[in-house]
Amino acid sequence: MATLIVIVILLIDQTIKLWVKTHMALHESIHVTDWFYIAFIENNGMAYGMQLGSKLILSLFRVVAISALAYYVWLQVRKNARTGYVICLSMIVAGAIGNLIDCMFYGLIFEPSTNYDVAQMVTFGEGYAPFLMGKVVDMFYFPLIVTTYPEWSPVYAGEEFIFFSPVFNFADSAISVGVVVLLLFFRKEISDISFKRE
């Protein structure tokens, strides 16, 4: 079951990313509703575009973290852990792998995306970045509330305020949902985390 969840999430994530990468120019957006846009951006960092030090170090850290978490999921499956717990862990693993795939291969197989042209695929290894240095494709943008700070505000007076401004991808969503559900319903399992075989 865990393997199937990972495969399904990866297929959905990569299908969306590849479509966006090969059909949209960088920073192009598609208006779906006033509170939902498909907005193509790329980032070098972690989920929701956060940055954390060197790109290479971040990518290598991802490889180590994913390997450790995948091993832990395997242990939980072997000991017949609760189904919901395994599902949440599998979602997190799948999301992390989805973003790692971008870093590993997109730089090798695509030319750079620009504000004017849609990126084209190139011969493997002739893309815009070396192995592990590719950029992560993001596209989901939900500006639920767009307004301005009041003029009397002590900070940002009159400036635009957007509630929920991050642009993210399906892999980020899988990670976030998995983490939130774990924290809400599987605190006991989290407190008992061990990488020892039983």
Contact 148, 58 (CB under 8 A): no
Please report, as a single letter, which amino acid is at residue 101: I
Catalytic residue flag (residue 138):
yes
Catalytic residue flag (residue 192):
no
3-state secondary structure of 146: strand
Instruction: For CA atoms 68, 72, 77, 78, give the dihedral sign.
Output: positive
Task: List the catalytic residue out of 13, 34, 102, 172.
Answer: 172
Tell me how far apart the alpha carbons of residues 24 and 48 are, in angstroms, rounded to a whole number.
19
Tell me how far apart the alpha carbons of residues 39 and 25 are, in angstroms, rounded to a whole number.
10
Tell me how far apart the alpha carbons of residues 20 and 14 are, in angstroms, rounded to a whole number.
10
Contact 104, 132 (CB under 8 A): yes
H-helix segments, the chain:
2-23, 55-78, 83-101, 107-109, 170-185, 187-191
Distances (CA, A) of 186 to 38, 82, 198: 33, 9, 20
Return the active site residues.
Answer: 138, 172
